């Protein structure tokens, strides 16, 4: 019983670690799209008209990026409705569930 | 049964050049460097006001016939692939027959397809030749999307360019070089890449331009592209087409020397390469100086590869065109 639990915990950790790596890759990709340094991307970044411009090109690029990192093809319309990086991450989580 | 081979490809680009500097002056939020980085396009060619797709096509075909020393009277069939014809009627191919001085005994018709059009043209040419109906086909692909594009719509203006290509397909004693055709059609995406007005479904509509949510201006007579929907279609369908061609040809992906995809733009090709897990060197690119030329992107790429001696005997290509319709088509082409 204990060993089964051990395997489950280890698997969960592996999956968790993989998810973290994918998220890091996703943030690096977003940094490329907005042409900023990777450490300036986090869930609390809200789109604006200066640096984090959420235009058609950014949306199309993010759609390709989400497919590359998570294997999900998001809806362009739902992506357009996102107001922050956190909204995009939520959208991806919903699709992965 | 006769086989068919592609014996020559030539192209023609209109003179007017639209640079990233010019686009950046109209859309200051995009620097010239950013346009290049994102689209992979440095400049596009734009047809003159009085220059149509048939004019571009005739020039490309004349170049091909002269260079290859093909007697115009020996051409047996003409296919003109375009979405910007001279008239609703007559068929543009009929007008081109006269302008090229082709025989009055030829068959000629138009194919209305966009990014999948070159592969469609090859499939029809191959069918005509393999059936024994004709010994050769002159396939012209030509489009002037610029005439549909509103000058204040950066989403499409930065991507599309005008061009024509002429390809000669002839019968051979050997097995066909061209084959393993597969097709895909999904009309549910028709509204995502469309010129809504001007045809008979909507012949009169307000000509005033309206700004969309991204600040791009257009009227119903202008080209509209929903970029994210078209990308999402392509990411889902192109891998299917590639797998179907490989299966039909009994090949695995390593047996193909080069994958010649419709050259939509840089991020589309980057995304497809990652999705298909293909090495960059197997997916040649062309379009930095032409942009997305719709049905001519694959023959322009092919001509470039021939000129740069990348096409040698024994080379195996997989072609895939995809986009407006939605329509996609794939095939193999061996040299």
> Helix (H, G, I), strand (E, B), or coil: what is residue A40?
helix
3-state helix, strand, coil in chain A (%, to 5): 70, 5, 25
Site from A57, A62, A70, A91 to mutate, B interface, most B CB atoms within 10 angstroms = A57
State whether ipTM is beyond 0.95: no
User: In whole angstroms, how far apart are CA A2 and each of A7, B104, B334?
Assistant: 9, 86, 60
- CB nearest A76 (choices: B232, B236, B275): B232
Q: In what order do the strands lie in the sheet with B316-323?
A: B178-185, B327-334, B316-323, B258-261
Task: Specify the pairing of strand B136-143 against strand B77-81.
Answer: parallel
* Residue B123 near residue B331, CB atoms below 8 Å: yes
Residue from the list A56, A57, A73 with its beta carbon closest to the beta carbon of B232: A73
Per CB-CB distance under 8 Å, the chain B contacts of A59 are 227-228
Contact A63 B231 (CB under 8 A): yes
Chain B residues with beta carbon closer than 8 angstroms to that of A64: 231, 235, 267-268, 270-271, 274
Cα separation values, B69 from B61, B76, B97, B188, B308, Å: 12, 16, 18, 45, 21
Q: Name the residue among B329, B309, B264, B258 with its Cα closest to residue B290.
A: B264
Low-confidence ranges of chain A (pLDDT < 50): none
CB atoms within 10 A of CB A83: 10
Alpha carbon of A85: minimum distance to chain B alpha carbons (Å): 18
Q: Do A57 and B274 touch (CB under 8 A)?
A: no
CA B193-B194-B198 angle, to 5 degrees, is: 170
Three-class DSSP category at A11: helix
Helix, strand, coil % over all residues of chain B, rounded to 5? 35, 25, 40
Q: Is B227 within 8 Å of A61 when comparing Cβ atoms? A: no
B93: part of which helix (H) or strand (E)? helix B92-100
pLDDT of residue B176: 77
Please identify which of the residues B20, B126, B262, B331 carries the catalytic annotation: B262
What percent of chain B shows pLDDT beyond 90?
A: 93
Q: State whether the Cα torsion B202-B205-B211-B212 is positive or negative.
A: negative
Active site residue B320: no
Report DSSP letters for B258-309, one per residue: EEEE----HHHHHHHHHHHT--GGGS----TTT-B-GGGHHHHHHHHHHHTT
- Chosen for mutation from A60, A68, A76, A78 (greatest number of chain B CBs closer than 10 Å) is A60
Residue B286's CB is within 10 A of a number of other CB atoms, namely 19
Q: What is the pLDDT of residues B259-278, one digit of tens each?
A: 999 999 998 999 999 999 99
The pLDDT of residue B213 is: 85
pLDDT given for residue B99 in this prediction:
98
Residue B94 is among the residues annotated as catalytic for this protein: no
Contact B38 A57 (CB under 8 A): yes
Tell me the torsion sign for CA atoms B196, B299, B288, B85: negative
Alpha carbon separation from A83 to A45, A56, A89 (Å, rounded): 9, 14, 11
In this prediction, residue B66 carries a pLDDT of 98
Q: In 3D, which of B113, B105, B118 has the Cα closest to residue B165?
A: B118
The residues of chain B scoring below 70 in pLDDT are: 1
Chain A residues touching B214 at Cβ < 8 A: 55-56
Backbone angles phi, psi at B186, to 5 degrees: -145, 90
A53 and B29 Cβ atoms separated by less than 8 Å: yes
Chain B residue numbers touching A53 (CB-CB < 8 A): 29
Residues ≥6 apart with Cβ < 8 Å to B43: B17, B18, B19, B20, B288, B289, B291
- Closest residue on chain A to B29 (Cα): A50
Cα–Cα distance between B194 and B218 in angstroms, integer?
Answer: 12
- φ/ψ of residue B34, rounded to 5: -65, -40
How far off is chain B from A37, nearest CA to CA, in Å?
Answer: 16
Contacts of A7 (CB under 8 A, 6+ apart): none
Q: Spell out which residues of chain A touch residue B34, defining contact as CB-CB under 8 Å.
A: 35
Assess whether B115 carries a catalytic annotation: yes
What are the φ/ψ torsions at residue B181 (nearest 5 degrees)?
-75, 135
The strand ranges marked E within chain B are: 3-12, 16-19, 43-46, 77-81, 107-111, 136-143, 163-172, 178-185, 193-194, 210-211, 217-218, 224-225, 258-261, 316-323, 327-334
Q: How far apart are CA B149 and CA B26, in angstroms?
A: 14
At residue B133, the 3 state secondary structure works out as: coil
A73, A75, A80: residue with CB nearest B235: A73
List all residues 6 or more positions away from B171 whose beta carbon is below 8 Å from its beta carbon. Answer: B2, B3, B4, B5, B129, B134, B135, B136
Q: How many CB pairs under 8 A join A and B?
A: 50
pTM: 0.93
């Amino acid at each position: 019983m204990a060993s089964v639990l051990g395997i489950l915990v280890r698997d969960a950790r592996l999956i968790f670690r993989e998810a973290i790596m994918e998220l890091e890759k996703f943030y690096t990709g977003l940094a490329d799209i907005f042409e900023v340094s990777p450490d300036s991307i986090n869930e609390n970044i809200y789109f604006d008209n200066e640096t984090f411009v959420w235009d058609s090109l950014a949306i199309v690029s993010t759609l390709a990026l989400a497919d590359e990192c998570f294997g999900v093809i998001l809806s362009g319309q739902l992506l357009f409705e996102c107001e922050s990086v956190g909204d995009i991450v939520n959208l991806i989580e919903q699709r992965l569930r | 049964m006769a086989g068919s081979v592609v014996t020559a490809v030539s192209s023609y680009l209109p003179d007017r050049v639209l640079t990233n500097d010019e686009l950046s002056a109209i859309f200051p939020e995009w620097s010239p460097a950013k346009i290049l980085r994102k689209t992979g396009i440095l400049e596009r060619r734009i047809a003159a006001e009085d220059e149509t797709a048939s004019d571009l096509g005739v020039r490309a075909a004349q170049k091909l016939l002269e260079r290859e020393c093909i007697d115009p009277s020996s051409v047996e069939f003409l296919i003109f692939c375009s979405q910007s014809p001279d008239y609703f009627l007559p068929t543009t191919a009929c007008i081109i027959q006269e302008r090229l001085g082709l025989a009055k005994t030829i068959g000629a018709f138009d194919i209305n397809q966009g990014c999948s059009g070159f592969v469609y043209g090859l499939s029809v040419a191959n069918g005509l030749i393999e059936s024994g109906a004709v010994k050769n086909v002159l396939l012209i692909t030509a489009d002037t999307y610029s005439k549909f594009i509103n000058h204040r719509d950066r989403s499409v203006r930065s991507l599309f360019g005008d061009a024509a290509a002429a390809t000669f397909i002839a019968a051979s004693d050997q097995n066909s070089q061209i084959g393993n055709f597969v097709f895909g059609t999904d009309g549910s995406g028709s509204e995502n890449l469309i010129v809504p007005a001007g045809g008979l479904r909507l012949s009169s509509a307000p000509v005033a331009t309206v700004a969309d949510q991204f600040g791009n201006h257009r009227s119903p007579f202008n080209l509209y592209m929903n970029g994210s929907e078209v990308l999402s279609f392509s990411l889902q369908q192109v891998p299917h087409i590639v797998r179907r061609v490989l299966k039909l040809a009994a090949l695995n992906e390593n047996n193909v020397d080069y994958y010649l995809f419709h050259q939509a733009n840089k991020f589309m090709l980057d995304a497809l390469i990652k999705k298909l897990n293909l090495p960059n060197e197997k997916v040649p690119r062309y379009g930095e100086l032409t942009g997305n030329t719709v049905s001519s992107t694959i023959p322009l790429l092919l001509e470039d590869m021939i000129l740069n001696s990348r096409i040698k005997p024994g080379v195996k290509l997989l072609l895939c065109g995809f986009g407006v319709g939605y329509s996609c088509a794939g095939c193999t082409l061996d040299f």
